[in-house]
Amino acid sequence: MNALIQLRGVTKRYGSGASELMALKGISLDIAAGEFVAIMGPSGSGKSTAMNILGCLDTPTAGQYLFKGAHVEALSRDQRARLRRRYLGFVFQGFNLLARTSAQENVELPLLYRGDSASVRRVAAAKALQAVGLGGWEGHTPGELSGGQQQRVAIARAIVTEPAVVLADEPTGNLDTQRSHEIMGLLMALNRDKGITVLMVTHEPDMAAYARRMVHFVDGAVAKDLPNPNPTIAAPALAPAETT
């Protein structure tokens, strides 16, 4: 099977001289379409730097990054932005929702940036919210939602463009145990049922256990890259969200 994502000898250097930091030291990695990969490692291991490069938020100092066979490292800033809008969705630890804006409007934002019409945005956002168990919550602002519900809105925003890949950076870091497992169940369902490739940075082994593959970074290099033969089986994830 051809890889959706390929990293070949990717390095990332910050600074120069005595202050130089090699955040990545020749990373090579293949990720196939439809995988669920947990990226793990201690602070400073390079996992977040790798995630930023994979998300076209940063560029490598050297090496190659191929996405569907295209050399991302050779793209202009505008071309990388178009790739992000077309193929990638992002979920962050801090939710990153607009506080005074409804769930519906938060989810519509990527489509607004893409230039879609109001009617297209409205239908797509409602569909995405329904997919994460928040049908009927469209008019609520983040302050009227629990942490788990806010992260569901953030996931709806990530999938509203129907991306090929969702990049999740510590998506359960601000949630309690029950909500964390609900969110992992949702990501697992989106991967399984919609075929979305999920790349997740986490430092929590019990969250990584939902993934089908675990990549461990240490000191800017891939230390281990192993399949997870027995991923955690989540409870049904698309049930209505908990009430506040």
Give me the pLDDT at residue 114, please: 87
* pTM of the predicted protein model: 0.90
Give me the pLDDT at residue 1, please: 54
Quick: pLDDT tens for 131-187: 999 999 999 999 999 999 999 999 999 999 999 999 999 999 889 999 899 999 999
Contacts of 30 (CB under 8 A, 6+ apart): 3, 5, 6, 7
CA angle 197, 93, 179 (to 5 degrees): 85
CB 105 within 8 A of CB 113: no
Give me the pLDDT at residue 239, please: 45
Question: CA–CA separation, 175 vs 93, rounded Å?
Answer: 9
Domains of the chain from N-terminus onward = 36-56+87-227 (3.40.50.300)
CB 198 within 8 A of CB 228: no
Count of H-run helices and E-run strands, the chain: 7, 10
Contacts of 198 (CB under 8 A, 6+ apart): 35, 36, 37, 165, 166, 168, 187, 190, 191, 211
